[in-house]
Structures are given as C-alpha cells and as structure tokens.
Structure 1
Amino acid sequence: MRDDVSSWPVGRLLSVAARLVERRFHDFLAAHQLSHAGLIALHHLTPGPRTQRELAAACRVTDQTMSRTIEHLRRSGHVVKRADPHDRRRMLVELTEAGDAVLAMAREKERDSGDLLGAVEDYDRFREELIRLITVT
C-alpha cells in the first residue's frame, strides 16, 4: 500500500488525510460527549459568556443550529445558561469547569498526540502551512 500511496497526487493525499484525521477526532469527541460544532462553540466561549446570537455569529451558524448545539453542551455539562445580570430577558451561555477541561484536553490531544494527527513532526509548522494553504488565493 505504501508504494501505491507515494504515487497519489497531492489532492488525493489531502483528501484521504483529512478523512482519517476527522474520523480520529470524531471518535475522540464522541468519547467526551462533544461534536465538532460543540468544540467550536466551547472555543468561542473561552473569552467569557455570550448570548446565543453572539455565539452563533462567532461560529458562523444560524441561531437554530446554535440552539441545538448549546442544548447538547448543556446536557453534557460543558456549558450553563444563566440570565444576563444587565438584562434579565437575555440568556448568557457560559463555559463550565468541565467544558473548559474538555476543551483543554482536546487542544492538547490535537497538538501532542500521534493519535489524531499521526505522523506530524512539527505541529506549529504544519498548522502554519495549512493556514497558508487555506487563506492564500
């Protein structure tokens, strides 16, 4: 198989690598009662509480999609909802200690574990190259 892979074009290599990493990451997230959307939401809650609408905008999803994500995160104990002290009609979504811990674990697992990225030797350089690949037009 290794000889066959070495003949693949870059596009196919990227596609297969993305699917493999996504599957590994999905398995990790599922084991911690998270989804990709939930992980993104937790990331956007690290600066502090946000309204559902603010969180939806930060995650670039609809309010309805964010509502489902928040409810799943709430049931899993990763976030809480509470009334905004400045406007009791608004609800704020806030990261819990459990949510903060699982986010830290996911970041560590991504960066330092061969389980998710496999053979990546220089995480920072790899990440920079991916960003450049995505953002350079």
Structure 2
Amino acid sequence: MDPDAIATWPTGRLLSTAARLVEHSWERYLGTRGLTHAGLIVLHLLNAGPQSQRTLARGAKVTDQTMSRTVDRLLRAGFVDRATDERDRRRTTVTITAAGREVHAEALVAEREDPVVLGAVRDYEAFRLQLVELVTSLNHPT
C-alpha cells in the first residue's frame, strides 16, 4: 500500500483497514501458540476461577455448542481441564491449567509490546484508552 495514498483515506476506512490488519496479525500470533481468539477469551474468563461451560458461553456471548468446541480445542492443547461438577452432575466445570495461564500471560504481553501483533503503535495505553472511548461513545450515543 502506498503511504501517500493511505494518508488521504477517510478515518472510517483507516479504522476498518487497521482493524482487519491487526486481527490478521493477532490470529497468526495466537496460531503459533495453539490458540484462537475465542480460546484466548475463554482463558481470560477463566482467570476469575473455574466456570461452567454455560457461564463461559454467556460471558463470551456465544452459543453453548460453540463454547463446547472452543473448550475441546483448549483441552487438547492442555490449556484447560474439564470435569463434572460435584454438586450438580449435569454441569461441566472448566478450569485453566498452568500452561493456560502461561500462554494467556504471554498473549497479554504480546498484545501490548509485540510490534508484529500491533504494528507501529507508539503509546499502547493512550491508544487503548482512545479506542475504549470511541467504542463506548459509539455504542451508547448521547
């Protein structure tokens, strides 16, 4: 892409292009660690403690079936354990493993510091705050 031409693009086009490019680099990064974006969300949710698959599905805003497939992948990778809930045998409880905590922690650092993941962002925290403000204001117009 020609940097001079890019400088003339409207802000909306810049945002959508940047989002796609960051998403692709993030997916590549996660893939090298045996993770998907959905799997990373589950690990993030499990940092609060063991949860049922249904609770994880609600927290991730996906169907129970989608969560089951995501947990299956994480289980095969060794990032979570799954067991029948002792109090309610109909429920399945998911727990993050040491390997899951480690890969989650690495991903959080990469998200903030790895130029391959985020590109040329100079001040990650300021950039992130601007994105939070933008999404919040557009999601809840005054």
Q: Could you tell me how far 1:118 is from its partner in structure 2?
A: 1.0
Q: Could you tell me how far 1:88 is from its partner in structure 2?
A: 3.6
Per the normalisation by structure 1, the TM-score is 0.95
Quote the Cα distance in structure 2 between the aligned partners of 1:91 and 1:113.
36
Verify: 1:19 aligned to 2:25, yes or no: no
Which amino acid is the alignment partner of residue 111 of structure 1? R
Which amino acid is the alignment partner of residue 80 of structure 2? V
Which amino acid is the alignment partner of residue 37 of structure 2? H
Q: Which residue of 2 aligns with 1:29?
A: 30
Gaps of 5+ in 1: none
Per the normalisation by structure 2, the TM-score is 0.92
Which amino acid is the alignment partner of residue 96 of structure 2? L
Verify: 1:126 aligned to 2:127, yes or no: yes
Quote the Cα distance in structure 1 between the aligned partners of 2:67 and 2:123.
34
Gaps of 5+ in 2: none
Q: Could you tell me how far 1:122 is from its partner in structure 2?
A: 1.1
Q: Could you tell me how far 1:115 is from its partner in structure 2?
A: 1.3
Partner SS for 1:92:
strand
Quote the Cα distance in structure 2 between the aligned partners of 1:132 and 1:33.
32
Q: Structure 2 matches for 1:34-113, cutoff 5 A? A: 34-113=35-114
Which amino acid is the alignment partner of residue 87 of structure 1? D
Quote the Cα distance in structure 1 between the aligned partners of 2:50 and 2:74.
14
Q: Which runs of 4+ in 1 moved over 6 A?
A: none
Structure 1 residues 25-49: Cα deviation after superposition (integer angstroms, max 9, x where no partner): 0001111111111111110000100
Q: Could you tell me how far 1:85 is from its partner in structure 2?
A: 3.2
- How many pairs align? 137
Which amino acid is the alignment partner of residue 11 of structure 1? G
Quote the Cα distance in structure 1 between the aligned partners of 2:89 and 2:23.
40
Identity %: 50
Q: Could you tell me how far 1:14 is from its partner in structure 2?
A: 0.7
Quote the Cα distance in structure 1 between the aligned partners of 2:32 and 2:114.
16
Which amino acid is the alignment partner of residue 121 of structure 1? R
Which amino acid is the alignment partner of residue 10 of structure 1? T
Which amino acid is the alignment partner of residue 125 of structure 1? A
Q: Could you tell me how far 1:65 is from its partner in structure 2?
A: 0.6
